[in-house]
Amino acid sequence: MDLYVVRHPPVAVDKGVCYGQLDVALKPGFEVLGNSLRESLPSLPVYSSHLSRCRQLAHLIDPDHAVDARLAEMHFGEWEGLRWDDIPRTELDLWMNDYVTQRTPGGESFADVGDRLTEFLQTLRDAGKEGAVLISHAGVIRSLLIRWTGLSPDKAFRKQIEFGSVHHISV
């Protein structure tokens, strides 16, 4: 299955804020990206995270897109909306030492994100889909790269995932 995974456009959130699954606004001008992607992406079913920063872009690409919460960014629990610098250092260190399996307080682990993506992809396979366009988040893209291309977690987290970037992944 060929996936074209698009990271949502830039958001109107101060740099350094942990916003994971917070429903935050897009910066003005995202429509230009949507129009460009509509012309350049293959004609495949479009699926979007349930968060508005993805749904708004997906609507520009395909007004009939499907929404699926399994495409959401990692849920950071109690850290959502906090500045990364304001998260208690002991909690942050505990998570950073094993971010793949360690859950954030009240949230998810990176492995949890991968598990819900695996479930989503199985749903596509069961429906006979041979490809899809996914409008999603950097964490989702990294998870797909790790699980289906063999990229190590360390390399995936060092990889720059730009806003509006498209990543072709064969699953």
How much is the mean pLDDT over the chain? 96
For residue 9, what are the contacts with CB-CB under 8 A and spacing of at least 6? Answer: 26, 27, 30, 33, 34, 53, 57, 163, 164
| Partners of 47 in beta bridges | 66, 134
Percent of the chain scored above 90 by pLDDT? 95
Q: Could you report the per-residue pLDDT of 40-96, keeping only the tens digit for each? A: 999 999 999 999 999 999 999 999 999 999 999 999 999 999 999 999 999 999 999
CB neighbours of residue 33 within 10 Å: 19
Whether the pLDDT of residue 171 is over 90: the answer is no
Encode pLDDT of 19-28 as tens digits: 999 999 999 9
Model pTM? Answer: 0.95
Segment 98-116 shows an average pLDDT of 95
pLDDT score at 111? 94
Region 12-19: what's the mean pLDDT?
96
